[in-house]
Structure 1
Amino acid sequence: MAEFSLQFSSTPLADTSAFRLLELPPELCKIVEEGLNSPAGPSLVIKGNPDEDAVLCTADKTYTIRSVVLSNSVLVATPDSSTKSQGDADAVVIRDQLKEILELAPSLPRLRRLDALLKDAEYNEGHEDEDGRMSEDEDSAPVLTYAEARETLQASDIELDRGLRDRRVLILGGYLRRLAPSYLTTILELLLTNLVSLSLSHEAASVAELCSALDGHDVSRDVCRQVMAWFGEVADGKWKVNVAAAVKEVGLGILRAYKDDPIAQSELLAKWCSTVGDTFESTVSLDLLAGNYLVQTDTLKDPPVTALAYFPSSQLPVDPAARFTDLFLTRPRWKADEIVPFLADIVVDSKERDKLLLKYTRTITNTEGIWYTARAKYNG
């Protein structure tokens, strides 16, 4: 049996609290093991400003880091190659004593800061001659580059790119610019219209032809290509359109105008179909807009009229407690199929969503089915 000689560290002030014990889930263990055989090493980055809770990011996922107190202390011991005890026994140095372990749990990327950082960096119609810095007005110049976003925002690179796409953020001259929703709708309408007028297949449309067609409408080719990439796949000079995503965005563009004054459901669908044209109207469906509207039914009319009001989940608080507060201040009770779409962007999976519903709501069953009401009382 091997023998070791225990010694205390000769630099206790420097060693105490200098170590942390991090428990890796299986998928991260695999990344570390594979990284040991790679010249670049494992791709793991801890991100967070001094006022933020730290997260650990891989190339494609984000994990929260939380401290868990141990019932028994753990000693951190390292070999001391420079010291040998009497005989041939190796010396082991006790460097620190740990009373906690750091655990990792899958988390959503934390990208809501983008909304504030890019508030004054909107790219709209008429900005075609500007570079990314918006140099015409120093006060409104963007303060965030793509490189800075990668370094400071708490998200993996793949999640950041997905977040920029979902928020419709352009990368121009290395700077981030949010594309104005109304201008995005205009560009998509032009793309769909020209797909038909140029007799191009939405499975493999020529990027060059479409960009050339939009030149006549003063749409920057760089912007045109990025919008295409948001709504499909661009490869080898061809654009394979994600028809459902493009049609959804056009529908949102129409719905945004009806936040305070709801639009009749039949009128919305008619406008939507007319805008996307005969070729794509079969894709039009209210299911595409889930999580972006509230249904209001006027029962005093005969027959009753169903109207929709713009109510996007993206503008609700990220914190679950605050999210449920806003939802129940808006409505005292929700059906499952109504409330679920408004929780999709704050949970990792359906299991976490069900935990939140159990924590923040109560269920009531009547002849109309199951309803969710607030577990706490909210006063407007």
Structure 2
Amino acid sequence: MPDFDLHFSPFSTDEAASYKLIELPSELVGLLENAIQSSDPLGLVIKGDPTEDAVLCTRDKTYSIRTVNLSNTLLVVTPPPDTEFNFAEDAVVIRDQLNEILELAPAVPRISKLVGRLRGREYDETNEEDDEDEEVDSDGSSRYTYTQAREEIQASDAELDVCLKQKRILIIKDELRPISPSYLNNILELTLNVLVSESLSHSAASLDRLTSALAGDHGISRVVSAQVLAWFGEIQAGGKWKMNEDEVIKELGLGILREHKNDDPIEKGAFVAKWKLAVGDTFADRVSLNLLAGNYLEGRPVGRIEHEYLTYFPSSTLPTDPAARFADLFLTRTKWRVEDITPFLSDIAVNNKERDKLLLKYCRAISESGAVWYTARAQYNG
């Protein structure tokens, strides 16, 4: 074996704790190797302010970062630095000592900050004439931009774009504005009306004709309508819009359901009838409560045992922290069937395996009358 002269760095005091060792999962190793071979920038970014646990983001995924202690010390060594110190040519210099590594694990995007920054910034028909070039609104509130979100929100760029679509957040001259649910429903209802009045196919409608009709007849900005149509369909070659029928039907159903919270549940049959009326005869047979999973509770309120009633209960308003999420769920109901609780976990677990781990950690399974129910492992007090 070759022999080397081993030295501590003359700058060891300044360099102490300046190195971190990250263990890469296999998919990141593949990305790194491909980037080296193709000379294509990898685009790894670590995000998080001093009050947050840092995450590492690729172009399309987010990874949590946690510290794992090592049983043995690792030495970070390099060839001698190019300084006036007289090291032998084959010397090895110890630059740092490591007693821990950083471990990466796939994580769901952390978008609660985004929701908080946009609270009270809803966009509706009253905003169509706003001066969008001002950086501060007339009430003194500052605007939050897509550029800021890419820098601050702990999510990859691809995941952020998906989040904006799912949360129905518009980008207007780089500013982010969540669209008012009532205004969104109005736009969708008008779109269905335009398809009928203009004799346009919902699977290949002219995007230009749709946005023109919505602007000319109803005063809806083309910037707004084009983004809404992209949320609820696919823009194809030749400027054709193919509607995602289930997404449109779902949103119209949510528009009705939002009016029926804890103190005003709606009878299931009456709700379905109103929903079918809203979507029209063309799509009435596509109406299904499965489209609204994770947005409602079903039950028989006291004094109304003859019918099932629905209550608006969206998972998007629940805490993103798993412990707090389960606490809220079990404060709402003391026990859940697996098919009822799982829709409320999809946004806090990266896949079904992680979801099942959460169920094992926070729930206890019990059997009653041949059915499996989940109850809380801990007692959550209101």
Q: Deviations over 1:98-135 (max 9, x none)?
A: 00000000000111111111112110112111244677
Task: Give the letter for the 2:340 counterpart.
Answer: E
Task: Give the letter for the 2:378 counterpart.
Answer: A
1:262 matched to 2:294? The reply is no
171-180 or 124-133, which moves further after superposition? 124-133
Give the Cα–Cα distance (whole angstroms) in 1 for the partners of residues 138 and 111 of structure 2. 25
Q: CA deviation at 1:40?
A: 4.9
Q: CA deviation at 1:300?
A: 6.0
The aligned residue for residue 214 of structure 2 is: 214
Structure 1 residues 120, 126: closer, same or farther in 2, change over 3 A? Answer: same
Q: Deviations over 1:219-267 (max 9, x none)?
A: 1111000001111111331111111111101100010000130111111
Task: Give the letter for the 2:22 counterpart.
Answer: L
Give the Cα–Cα distance (whole angstroms) in 2 for the partners of residues 26 and 301 of structure 1. 55
Task: Give the letter for the 2:310 counterpart.
Answer: L
Q: Is the 8 A contact 1:170 1:179 kept in 2?
A: yes
Equivalence map 1:207-356=2 (5 Å): 207-215=207-215, 216-235=217-236, 236-259=238-261, 260-297=263-300, 304-356=306-358
**TM-score, normalised on structure 1?**
0.94
Identify the structure with the greater strand proportion: 1
Give the Cα–Cα distance (whole angstroms) in 2 for the partners of residues 268 and 130 of structure 1. 36
Q: CA deviation at 1:38?
A: 4.5
Q: CA deviation at 1:340?
A: 0.7
Task: Give the letter for the 1:277 counterpart.
Answer: G
Give the Cα–Cα distance (whole angstroms) in 2 for the partners of residues 188 and 145 of structure 1. 25
Q: CA deviation at 1:301?
A: 6.0
Equivalence map 1:116-131=2 (5 Å): 116-131=116-131
Give the aligned CA root-mean-square deviation in angstroms.
1.9
34-43 or 132-141, which moves further after superposition? 132-141
Q: Is the 8 A contact 1:131 1:172 kept in 2?
A: no
176-185 or 73-82, which moves further after superposition? 73-82
Q: Is the 8 A contact 1:132 1:174 kept in 2?
A: no
Give the Cα–Cα distance (whole angstroms) in 2 for the partners of residues 54 and 148 of structure 1. 17
Q: Deviations over 1:173-200 (max 9, x none)?
A: 1111110011001101111222222222
The aligned residue for residue 159 of structure 2 is: 159
Match of 1:239, SS?
Answer: strand
Structure 2 gaps, min length 5: none
Structure 1 gaps, min length 5: none
User: Percent same amino acid at aligned positions?
Assistant: 54
Structure 1 residues 328, 301: closer, same or farther in 2, change over 3 A? Answer: closer
Give the Cα–Cα distance (whole angstroms) in 1 for the partners of residues 41 and 137 of structure 2. 43
Q: Is the 8 A contact 1:81 1:91 kept in 2?
A: no
